Amino acid sequence: MIERLALVIVLAIFCGATYYGLRSLHIRRMKPAHAGAAAPTLLYFRGDSCAVCPAQTRAIDQLASLWPDSLQIERIDAEHDMETAARYSVFTLPTTIWIDGDGRVRQVNYGLADADKLGRQLSLLAAIKLDQTPSVLNSKSAQSA
């Protein structure tokens, strides 16, 4: 019985390491773009047939209203701009991709990423201290207290 449990744990660790390794490789293989931008850039891939995209749009709009000078947002309709979607290997909608000022891809979110997650990623990317961020990042902790 212990052997089976150990095998399951080792298999889970292997699968997790493989996932994060392939994701890291995917990010490194993306070619730099948007070089020279003063602020981090969020590429938001969406589509008209995407059921979750309106929720993602609201989260991005909320983030943009909180940090209007700290980021640039490019909304890309993946169904019409297939060339750009293929360049970034976008197969899931919505997909959000953070690009730093040097044009390097730093984070990729496949599927819905809420405003808290995007805010934390922006904070890390733009070197904004979390204790000085607007309340959107702390809304969940305040509700649970």
Residues in CB range of 84: below 8 A, 6 or more apart: 76, 78
Strand, helix or coil at 89?
A: coil
Domain parsing of the chain, residue ranges: 1-30, 32-144
**Model pTM?**
0.67
| pLDDT recorded at residue 130 | 41
Sequence-separated (6 or more) residues with CB below 8 Å from residue 67: 122, 126, 128, 134
- At residue 33, the pLDDT reads 57
49-58: pLDDT as tens digits: 999 999 999 9
- 10-residue mean pLDDT profile of the chain (145 residues): values are 89 85 64 62 96 97 88 94 93 94 89 94 71 46 44
Q: Would you state the pLDDT for residue 112? A: 96
pLDDT of amino acid 125 = 84
Burial degree of 126 (CB within 10 A; 0-12, 13-18, 19+):
middle
| Assigned CATH for 32-144 | 3.40.30.10
Instruction: Establish whether the linkage from the previous residue to 94 is cis, with ω within 30° of 0.
Output: yes
Q: Which pLDDT belongs to residue 140?
A: 41
Mean of all residue pLDDT scores within the chain? 82
pLDDT digits (tens, 9 = 90+) for 31-47: 555 555 567 899 999 99
